[in-house]
Structure 1
């Protein structure tokens, strides 16, 4: 029972845990970080400026992080007696005018179509690994792409965001709001550049992308860095503020320190600096960066982006996305059993996959005969697919909204179905089941919209 008390828990502070504690009635929270360092963070669950509805979710508890030694001292005191703790926090909240820097290198054939490359400008303390290295990467890519701009078919837009931590992605969400229609109509993909080029970051084991970008990213990393890589589903983090708009995304954190080196150095999981525990502390200084690794990582970003900008047909494989949707729907269906019938969702997904296979056979033929006009139409279909399938995979809210910065499983509209078998037949059960039925309807409708897009181009 934590109501009316200060909660103390192990780990780094996070909005998911903080919200859970606050809903349970805590009056304050203390997070015991795993090591000797105290990591700055934010527990705000709302991305960017809140709406009137989301403003109610602003944290009310004072929240502090302490290091392991302080935490163990407090926990030891609690073993024998009641402990009284005084928390004092200082919060500066308000409206601030912030610099949001955007560079654009125009392509010569389809200048209106663009890739958005971005990273956050603000940092905690010196913030070399998170994110001065990323800012330098963006600047170097801007320099090189501008130099060779006459060789670009499409445009590259580069943005440096303010308000990453302190505003919970304030810059990128502001941009998503104010340039939503341009992004919706013309953004081919976005790529986040956070914490590249850090010392000992030899591997690419924790790279994020939406599934349709997997083949492209693996191929580039293999060719440029000579590394095999594992992909992760993008979290609602790292200025991935374009999921609701349905924009394909690749990269967030790039290279990482191998697990064996982290174990050797006593590192624990953190959210940047390639896995270095200097992340979000005063120790994130020049020693955290490695110029050679940064150069390699910049080449990975540049090679990936140029392939998107100059390919005849966008190099995205939405069969990967559909396969992920099928995999997770099958998992949910097994877990929920007869509590919620997902058979129609699976049936529609398999029909979508069949149409998608036909579509990609057509794409191959178009490339072979170099039919540039037909390729443009195919690319528009791919943008349409991303606008439907990316939100279906990642989002719960609508196109022009922002999901909360809390962990959600894939296909959020139906993901909570796994809770039904563990619930009593109560009002809460019926409320949730009704929500899930509506979510299932939205999922099926989205799949059918994607099929209609494909059938129109296949039949033309």
Structure 2
């Protein structure tokens, strides 16, 4: 998993009786977010994890980022969304491109030297991470709210259960088509990274 997503909600708290949109404590990003809220053991644990991660990023010959698992996740989401086919939006092409990219990446991990592979990994990150970890793109800031996996696919998730040929389905289909185009473009960019 890409590093930014890995640490997105790293210090979640034990859920309380207060219904909140996250488990980061009632004080999170408020004036009450002060040192008295820090658990020393959790802080030490978190620091060890950050240190290990930074150490690996700086010293491993190949960046410890697993795009194969990420592509498997995308393929699974596309399979679950097959219901959009009824709305005239088959996802077979995207699924095939995802699988083909995965297979090429597996071969690249076996064949490329570390320096070239690291360049490929970074280019694939730039293509896939915005789809998997944000609602928008590099120029928009997401609200500090939980996101599902592959939030880019949310319009497809809304379209799948829609009543066929309804106004709501027609309106959602526009956003769903744009989401498909965005995924197709990202897969093309990631594929280009492999030459």
Which TM bucket (shorter chain)?
0.7 to 0.9
The verdict on how the C-alpha distance between 1:424 and 1:358 changes in structure 2, with shifts beyond 3 A counting, is: closer
Q: State which of 338, 352, 356 in structure 1 corresponds to 2:86.
A: 338
Residues 53-202 of structure 1 mapped to structure 2, 5 A cutoff: none
CA–CA distance in 1 between the matches of 2:76 and 2:47? 33
Asked if structure 1 preserves the Cα contact closer than 8 Å seen for 2:74 and 2:98, the reply is yes
Gap runs ≥5 in structure 1: 1-210, 214-247, 367-374
Higher helix share: 2
Q: Deviations over 1:202-232 (max 9, x none)?
A: xxxxxxxxx245xxxxxxxxxxxxxxxxxxx
TM-score by length of 2: 0.78
In the alignment of these two chains, the number of paired residues is: 191
TM-score by length of 1: 0.37
CA–CA distance in 2 between the matches of 1:285 and 1:378? 42
Shift of 1:447: 0.9
The verdict on how the C-alpha distance between 1:322 and 1:290 changes in structure 2, with shifts beyond 3 A counting, is: same
CA–CA distance in 2 between the matches of 1:290 and 1:441? 45
Asked if structure 2 preserves the Cα contact closer than 8 Å seen for 1:414 and 1:436, the reply is yes
Map of 2:185 onto structure 1: 445
Residue 81 of structure 2: SS of its match in structure 1? Answer: helix
Map of 1:380 onto structure 2: 119
Map of 1:254 onto structure 2: 10
The higher relative CO (CA closer than 8 Å, separation ≥ 6) is in: 2
Q: Deviations over 1:139-166 (max 9, x none)?
A: xxxxxxxxxxxxxxxxxxxxxxxxxxxx
The verdict on how the C-alpha distance between 1:304 and 1:269 changes in structure 2, with shifts beyond 3 A counting, is: farther
Residues 334-373 of structure 1 mapped to structure 2, 5 A cutoff: 335-339=83-87, 340-362=89-111, 366=113
Asked if structure 2 preserves the Cα contact closer than 8 Å seen for 1:212 and 1:320, the reply is no
CA–CA distance in 2 between the matches of 1:390 and 1:330? 20
Asked if structure 2 preserves the Cα contact closer than 8 Å seen for 1:212 and 1:319, the reply is no
Q: Deviations over 1:380-400 (max 9, x none)?
A: 211100000101223343433
Asked if structure 1 preserves the Cα contact closer than 8 Å seen for 2:132 and 2:149, the reply is yes
Map of 2:149 onto structure 1: 410
The verdict on how the C-alpha distance between 1:300 and 1:381 changes in structure 2, with shifts beyond 3 A counting, is: same
Shift of 1:416: 1.8
